[in-house]
Amino acid sequence: MTLIPRPLLRRTFLQRLAATAALASLPGAAVNAQPAPAASIPEDHPLQAAWQAWRSSYIAPEGRVVDSFQQGASHSEGQGYGMALALSFGDGETFRRLYSWTETNLALRPDALLAWRWLPDALPHVADRNNASDGDLFYAWALARAARLFDVPDYAARARAIAADLVATCVVTMPDGSAEVMLPAAAGFLTETGFILNPSYWMPRAMRDLAAATDQPALARCADGAERLMSQMAANGLVPDWVEVTADGITLPPARFSANSGYEALRVPLFLVWSRANTHPAVRGFTEAHRAAETGDLRAPTVFERGTGRVLEYSTHAGYRAVAALTACAGAQRAGSAIPPFDTAQPYYPATLHLMTLVAQIEGYPRCVPL
């Protein structure tokens, strides 16, 4: 287990607050108003130790992100997450290793998108060549950022190709014509009366950044549609893992999909906060639900029953507490947060949410430094 002690971050708290206050006092300045640069974590920042721990624990030498809880699988989502994080820490060597493995093992489709899963103990390793749109989104977003950071035109060209095919195969118009949204994949999510959606696949900032970088305005419209739809969902409770959308509105998904607000939906408030939408109704609802479910120990609620808000599952993995702590702080715009120290004594998924939370805090919410 690798644990990054909190004093490393607390040490610079007052300096960071002073710098933030100074910036806010400048004429016309707005803290958090500008997007973060492609690489946002300086080489001497204490959080670099967390990145090194995550990299050592979850990336195999050949360049695949390993999800041990999912049969040791590697997913396009994990590769995209890893590449985006590598860029935030300015780690070009790891970025290139992840990119090389992904292009060799997941870029198998006739279009520019990625197959969604690679299994180490199966032959063929990729049995299903359907894509996962969140994996494609993060992968292309990382490539577009890397093209700027490292001045590699091939990365930009690959990002443009992915963005174009993502729009062509996964962007649809709502049945009532009110918005454009991104399907979870190119195949398998259309119904006779509408389609099935996963709100946690939508990362508004990534959509808007990629739209601008690749001249695909439909992705920016998807970000707008995502935020609007999630506001509608939040009006009736927590945003669920899956929904079905028809001309009559938002309804429960088919029985094989989770209608609760669970492990997938945990990404919704994180991605909204990372996108600077820290006062979005879905963020407020998540924070209120977590506050009501506090246990006073190290457990965090991870699955809520959609209709009642009753907690169905708790977890002691620190990554889930990290998400709740940042969303609470960012929504309240207060100084200091209860984000726990990063550690690797947790599976890939909560550890990744944990590191993303810490990156989002540094990039957008300097007042929410962990205390």
Structure tokens at 76: 């396009």
166-170, Cβ contacts within 8 angstroms, sequence gap of 24 or more = 166/113, 166/133, 166/136, 166/137, 166/140, 166/216, 166/219, 167/216, 167/218, 167/219, 168/111, 169/111, 169/113, 169/131, 170/131, 170/133, 170/136
Cα four-point dihedral sign 126, 348, 263, 35: negative
- C-alpha distances in angstroms, 359 versus 23, 285, 319, 343? 20, 22, 13, 15
CA distance 88 to 92: 10
Decide if 330 contacts 370 (C-beta within 8 A).
no
Q: What three-state secondary structure class fits 148?
A: helix
Alpha-carbon span 271 to 206, nearest angstrom: 9
Convert 8-69 into a string of H (helix), E (strand) and C (coil). Answer: HHHCCHHHHHHHHHHHHHCCCCCCCCCCCCCCCCCCCCCCHHHHHHHHHHHECCCCCECEHH
The Cα angle at residue 68 between residues 268 and 326, in degrees rounded to 5: 30
Q: State whether residue 73 is helix, strand or coil.
A: strand
Per the annotation, the verdict on 134 as an active-site residue is: yes
246 CA to centre of own chain: 26
Query: What token pair was written down for 291?
Result: 């506050």
Residue in 91, 89, 95, 146 with CA at minimum distance from that of residue 363: 89
Query: Measured between alpha carbons, how far is 20 from 41 in angstroms, rounded to an integer?
Result: 16
Percent of the chain that is helix, strand, coil (3-state, to 5): 50, 10, 40
Token output for 39: 């690489």
Which is catalytic among the residues 43, 44, 67, 77? Answer: 77
- Quote the CA–CA distance of 50 and 288 in Å, as a whole number: 29
Tell me the C-alpha distance between 278 and 353, whole Å: 17
Choosing from 67, 91, 134, 227, the catalytic residue is: 134
Residues tagged active-site: 77, 134
